[in-house]
Amino acid sequence: MDTQIIERIKKDLLERRDQITAELFKFSKSGQIKGEFVSDFPSFGDQADENAQEVDQYTTDIETERVLESTLKDINSSLNAIKKGTYGICKYCHQEIEEKRLLIRPFSSSCVKCKNKLQSA
């Protein structure tokens, strides 16, 4: 793959990593980055319906946090792959991942063909 494109993707990945790290910080007031983020339970009040709202909010936070953490993991492994010179190789078929796909979703670890196969399976 073109080194210029790799550089562009690397910059994109670093920016995304910063954004996601900042997002994750919002969930955790203790602000520890150890891979495990503990959501603070939001408090809206003690009324019954307010408690229901708290639980709702908490569930959404956990879900968002889970997605953010997994994306962060993908971004980090992509950055590692760039360092090792193995970036852009599909982890299933070991062929090069389409450049177009990587520009849209730079932390992809599989090609479109394998991804489709997995989703339809």
Q: Applying CB under 5 A, which residues contact Zn ion?
A: 90, 92-93, 111, 114
Nearest distance from residue 116's CB to Zn ion, in Å?
10
Nearer to Zn ion, 34 or 100 (CB): 100
At residue 34, φ and ψ (nearest 5 deg) are -135, 15
22 three-class SS? helix
Angle at 67 between CA 62 and CA 72, to 5 degrees: 120
Nearest distance from residue 109's CB to Zn ion, in Å?
10
Nearest distance from residue 22's CB to Zn ion, in Å?
32
Nearer to Zn ion, 33 or 93 (CB): 93
